[in-house]
Structures are given as C-alpha cells and as structure tokens.
Amino acid sequence: MSDILSHRLALLAEHPNLPLLSQCLHGIERECLRVDANGQLAHTTHPRALGSALTHPQITTDYSEALLEFITGTAADPAQTLAELEAIHRFTYTKLDGEYLWSPSMPCPLPDEADIPIAEYGSSNIGRLKHVYRQGLALRYGKTMQCIAGIHYNFSLPEALWPLLQQAEGDHSARQDYQSARYIGLIRNFRRYSWLLMYLFGASPALDAGFLRGRAQGLEQLDTDTLYLPYATSLRMSDLGYQNNAQAGLTPCYDDLPSYTESLYRAVSTPYGPYEAMGIKDAAGNWQQLNTNVLQIENEYYSNIRPKRVTATGERPLQALRARGIQYIEVRCLDINPYLPLGIDLEEARFLDAFLLFCALKNSPCLIEGECGAATDNFLKVVKEGRRPGLELRRSGRSIPLVDWAASLLEEIGTVADLLDRAHDGQQHAQAIAAQQAKVADSRLTPSARVLDELQRTGESFRQFAMRQTLNHAEHFRGQPLPAETVAAFETAARQSLEQQAAMEAADTLDFDSFVAEYQRSLSA
C-alpha cells in the first residue's frame, strides 16, 4: 500500500475524523425499457399517471419514450437510496397497464429504427430542446444504440473531509480548487482501475440477435436469436454497434478541471464536417439536431465517469463546473444485473463506496503518455474477454495477469473497506470485498458467467431469459403494495409535475429558434 494512501487512512481513522466516512452521499439513476406482455418495446406514450417526464424529480425518460429513468435523491446510507429506488419501482408498477420493466441492460427485440419512439417533453422551449437533442442522437448514432439501459451511481465525499486533507498536506490553494483537483484525481484512478468493475459486475455477455441489425460485429451465435462472446463481461460497454467516430478524439486524461472543461467546450463549439452536411434542419425546415458541432451539448460525451455539480435553473453543466467546481462524481459504466429487481443491491453499493473512496485517497499522478491508452485498452479487453483464463492487462508498461492485479487491488481496497466498517460500526464493507474476492478466485460467480451458464443450461434465448426475469421482478414489486401515504405522495408529485410543465409552456415568450440560439450562446457568456 502506498505511503500516501496509508497516511490519509491514518488521518481519517483518528477519532474526531472517523465519523466523516459515514457522511458520504449516494444517489442512483436506473434506466429500463417499458415492454408489453410479449416482451416487445412498448409503443404507448409515457404514462400520464407517472407525471411529467420533463419536470418530475424521480420519474422521467431517457432517450426513448419507452426508456424510463428512475432518479433517487441523495442519502448518507445507500440502503436508504435503494429503499427509495424500490418505492419508485413499486409505484410505477401500479400505473403500468399490461406493461413491464425490462430486466437487463441490453434491449428487448426492437422494431425498425423508424418505429423506436423518441422521448417527448411537451411544447415548452426546454421540452422541445430535449426532444431535438434526442433527434440529433438518432441522426448521429442511430436509435438502436440509445435503447441500452444502465445504472448510474452518484457519489460524493463529505465537504468537511477536503479541508482536513488539504491542511494535513500543506496545500495552500483555494478550497474549491483543491476539492476539484482531488475529484479529478479520483477520476484518473477510476480510469486506471474501472476494468475491475466490469469484471465484477458486468452482466451483459449476450444480446438479442436483432440488436445489431444484421452486422455480426465479431460476435458468436449462441442460438438463432442470441449473439454472445464466451468470455465477455459487458457487451453494453464495448464498442459494438457504434459507427460514428466524431468522439474519437474526445478522451480527456483529466490533468485538471480547467483542461477537462476546455476540452468539452471545444467539442460543443467546434463544427464537425459530416454533421454540417446533415444540417440543423431537414429539407422541410424541421429541426433534426441542435447544432452541427462535435457534441450538441455536454452530456452527449459518452464517458464512464463524469465530474458533476448541481446546476441552477437555466445553467448548463459546464457553467456550473467552471463557476463552483466539482461537487460529486457520476459512475456510468455499471450494467443492470438481471438477477436483481433493482439491477443493483446493497453489497454492490458497499463495494462501490470502498472502491471510489480508494480511488479518491490513493495517489493519482497525471496519466503519462501511453497510460491513458492502456487504461482504455484494459477496459475494452475486460468487457469483451474479461473471464478468459490467463488474460493479461497492461500495468506500468508491463503485462500482468488480470487475476493477480485484481487480487492486489482488492487487498488495498479492503483496507479502505475496513475503515468504512469502523465508521459504520459493522462488517458490511468487508463482506462486500470478500464477495468480490470470491469472483476473482472463481469467474463462474460473476454475473456475466451466470447469465451465459443459464442460457446454455436452459436452452433459452436471451429474450426468453430476460422476459422470465422481467416477470419475476414484476411479481416482486407488485407483491408488496406501498403504504397508502407513500402512494399519495407519489401521486401528488405526479400531479404537481404536470402542473409545472403546463406553467412552463404558458410562460414561454421566445420562439424556439431564438431560444436555441440563446442556449448555444450561454456557454460563451
């Protein structure tokens, strides 16, 4: 274990400081497709009984009208976060008429591209902007790829922890700058080690054969309806299906926050030839993308982790980061585990906490030449063949067996887990580490191996397996009705969100073209 990590752990272990580790904040966003009773994509509109997808704080849509997104608030205890996520699922099932929430990350059998419905957000300017942005995604990447679902894990360390570390290290920069620099360091370490998350929690080794629209992409045929790779962990996070390389040069190595925000600013303000050829509007004058730049908006950048700051009304993410620095990070590479009703459980959350705190406390020098590419290569190698016996990765310019590197990482992360357990007066984090060590010792215990084993053992296709899990989870959620007061609170939130959307639509004064022009200029202000 490095001297810096040991020193920081010792500092946090001191009696006055230890309670800080019980004050980390957690939030979860879970995406899932609505499907009909036959496991086909739902073509119904977003259920009005769930409220407005534009303004509801917990229930919205992602890319498609059929792609629900559930958003929790933040809590110090991830058990509370998961309980809120459970309640959102249970309420949603009370409002689904003959429909279900698809269990895995990879989509159900999809209709033709033209028949995948893009999410609608009403007639307000901001609602139309969200819809046109999604039209741009369809134009640039295709609708099929946008129907993949995942888990986003939001995590922050307590604000009081940063000045403690800053003072101990004799750093004299502004507090906000120190905090942002340390979060950027966390992200650099995440880039180095996130392949481990793919091995441990990847759960998409197979997919419906129709997903690739006839392009084999090097996958093998498991049965007539299923494609797979025998040692894959997360095909969702692989490069399959993406035909567009506009973002190829957009891999910030996170030297500092200004360089990160500058790279994204260039991307949202630099024209890209193929998009210019498509035009902002089609031949009939209808909007089809927000602009012709490399990125339409910041969130179009597909990254495994993002630095984040809560935005004020009308404020863009880049503006918030520039003005007030990094507040938390968003982990975006987690598959939905099809064996879990919520797609994630408390054991995984406890491990993520230890992993992310490890990334924050371990020394994190800037990624030197070649290291950034090696981090990307390691990640892609693990998502496609992470369970291959004898698989080797690159560390510090040398090859190392995955199992050896994973074991040493888990040993270090275990010291962080032990400290978290002391702060929480329990053993749950150590137990979470032990469960991951078992997966490294026996890859058959990983979710990806379990999925493939079940497909091969039962003879089910991917869609049959996924629908069976979908029905099991529906029974779970419907089997325990929510308390009446909880249902009433959700129904009130739904009603208020619809009223808020109507008020926004009535308050608009600008025409849409002028609104978009102002939105584009806002980053330069």
**Full set of structural domains in the chain with CATH:** 3-524 (3.30.590.20)
Nearest to 368 by CA among 184, 192, 169: 192
Q: Percent of the chain having pLDDT more than 70?
A: 98
**pLDDT greater than 60 at residue 241:** no
CA–CA gap between residue 148 and residue 498 (Å, rounded): 27
Nearest to 200 by CA among 452, 443, 521, 38: 443
What percent of the chain shows pLDDT beyond 90?
Answer: 91
Q: What is the pLDDT of residues 387-425, one digit of tens each?
A: 999 999 999 999 999 999 999 999 999 999 999 999 999
Q: What is the mean pLDDT of the chain?
A: 95
Per-residue pLDDT band for 253 (boundaries 50, 70, 90) equals: low
Strands 59-61 and 220-223: unpaired
Of the pLDDT bands very low, low, confident and very high (cuts 50, 70, 90), residue 110 is very high
pLDDT score recorded for residue 420? 98
Q: Is the pLDDT of residue 245 over 80?
A: no
Residue 525 pLDDT? 59
Select the more confidently predicted residue: 129 or 373: 129
Measure the CA–CA gap between 497 and 501, rounded to whole angstroms: 6
pLDDT tens-digit map of 480-520? 999 999 999 999 999 999 999 999 999 999 999 999 999 99
**pLDDT value for 240:** 79
Contact call for residues 433 and 410 (beta carbons, < 8 A):
yes
Supply φ then ψ for residue 347, to 5 degrees. Answer: -60, -45
What's the CA gap between 303 and 67, in Å, rounded? Answer: 20
- Joined together, the tokens standing for residue 8 give 């920081």
Of 64-68, 200-204, 263-267, 352-356, give the lowest mean pLDDT range.
263-267
174 pLDDT more than 70: yes
pLDDT at 29: 98
Instruction: Give the pLDDT confidence of 5-19 residue by residue, as tens digits.
Output: 999 999 999 999 999
| Residue 43 CA, distance from chain mean position | 25
Q: From CA 102, how far away is CA 332, in angstroms rounded?
A: 19
Tokens representing residue 293 in the block: 């730049």
How many Å apart are CA 231 and CA 270, to the nearest integer? 39
Confidence of residue 74 (pLDDT cuts 50, 70, 90): very high
Quick one: average pLDDT of 134-158?
A: 96
- The C-alpha atoms of residue 349 and residue 149 are separated, in whole angstroms, by 18
CA triple 187-149-269, angle to 5 deg: 55
Position 523 pLDDT exceeds 90: no
Residue 357 has pLDDT above 60, yes or no: yes
Residue 227 β-bridge partners: 207, 221
pLDDT of residue 424: 96
pLDDT of 247: 79
- Using DSSP's 3-state secondary structure scheme, residue 381 falls into helix
